[in-house]
Amino acid sequence: MPIKNRYAELHSEITEWRHDFHIHPELMYDVHRTAARVAELLREFGCDEVVEGVGKTGVVGVIHGQSIASGKAIGLRADMDALPIHEATGLEYASQTPGKMHACGHDGHTAMLLGAAKYLCETRNFDGKAVMVFQPAEEGGAGGLAMCQDGMMDRFGIQEIYGMHNMPGQPVGQFAIRPGALLASSDEFEIIVTGKGGHAAAPHDAIDTTLVAAQIVVSLQTLVSRNVDPIKRVVLTVGTFETDSVASNVIAHEVRMKGTVRTLDTEYREFAEKRVREIVEGTASAFGATVEIAWSRGYPVTMNTSEHTVFAAEVAKSIAGNVDDNVDPIMPAEDFSYMLEERPGAYIFLGNGDTAMCHHPKYNFDDEAIPFGSSWYSGMIEARMKMNTN
């Protein structure tokens, strides 16, 4: 199963869809134009069912194989949303909306999955149902969770689900995957420390909140260095630090900090929250300050199931020749993780060549990756729901 010849013919058409999405980036759940275009194309291809408004603005297209006797249904997922970044690529099809940009390649993911949908509608060389999932709000809005909470898995009978992300720095068309944790979980916290403001020359009459908060920042770093098994992967970063003093001769009354904890080991999510609370409360009380801590759970660990990872790697290998099937995990988070919490499946990286990194104003999706991505999506359907040739 090398790159399918049909994708050589479809390449320019899929590229046009991609450039159209790129010109018109939309954020979070506000992907109305993109979703409408996706639904229009899915209907044009002849999908057996096209449902809009799943998880607010998600779209699902169902394609029946020549037979559906196997009773199988497999989900393939792409994301549709862009980022609040001002594009600096200078491309002729650059964003026409200042401050919005497809800087993560979701335009490419959506176009590649549409290409696979067109091919699968033409050929239907499988036994079962292919469920094409186009989700909104991957970039921080948990659109994947919204689609799951809308009952997508049961409603369309999805038994397994697969997703893909382009990867700058890997050769175009090279796939990489691993069983188990591929991307981290991401949780956020906000800490408000209250001491007692005062005159900089009379610290004995104040409780110096800046000093207390600084101790907290330093102590929090012991969570990873002293409390976590060195073999495990956890990272904690305090990203903001704001005092309410704007003068050099004023001791702050209040300090606000925000940070994030990422891990590839699910058991450390609860541990990190518990330990952060202990360190923050203990340190504050040692200095006579008080604290409020708000903790918010973000995306879970993206956890590939072993059997499905092996399968996804085999399909990738048949397309690209070789595949890195034990790639190092990375610490960003991905909301396909919610779909993998509901159903087994796998997430795979597809090389995007020597481009700027995702979320950079000069990033661009490489159109040469399209035949590889579309081939993998449709290959998963044909290989996982083979026609009975007897």
Using CB under 5 A, list all residues that contact Zn ion: 104
Nearer to Zn ion, 76 or 104 (CB): 104
Q: Give CA–CA dist 61/49, Å, rounded.
A: 6
State in angstroms the smallest separation of the CB of 79 from Zn ion.
6
- Residues contacting residue 223 through CB under 8 Å, at least 6 positions apart: 234, 236, 272, 275, 276, 279
Nearer to Zn ion, 104 or 223 (CB): 104
State in angstroms the smallest separation of the CB of 9 from Zn ion.
28
DSSP letter for each residue of 164-181: EEEETTSPTT-EE--SEE
Residue number with the smallest Cβ distance to Zn ion: 104
- Residues contacting residue 375 through CB under 8 Å, at least 6 positions apart: 1, 2, 3, 4, 7, 116, 319
DSSP letter for each residue of 15-84: HHHHHHHHHS--BTT--HHHHHHHHHHHHHHT-SEEEEEETTTEEEEEEE-SB-TT--EEEEEEE--BBS
State in angstroms the smallest separation of the CB of 288 from Zn ion.
43
State in angstroms the smallest separation of the CB of 348 from Zn ion.
13
Q: Give CA–CA dist 191/290, Å, rounded.
A: 10
DSSP strand pairing (180-183 vs 302-304): antiparallel
State in angstroms the smallest separation of the CB of 167 from Zn ion.
10
Q: Which structure tokens are listed for 366?
A: 């490489």
State in angstroms the smallest separation of the CB of 3 from Zn ion.
23
Nearer to Zn ion, 164 or 380 (CB): 164
Nearer to Zn ion, 82 or 381 (CB): 82
State in angstroms the smallest separation of the CB of 152 from Zn ion.
20
Nearer to Zn ion, 14 or 164 (CB): 164
Q: Which structure tokens are listed for 338?
A: 């919610």
Nearer to Zn ion, 35 or 104 (CB): 104
Nearer to Zn ion, 163 or 179 (CB): 163
CB-CB neighbours of 248 under 10 Å: 6
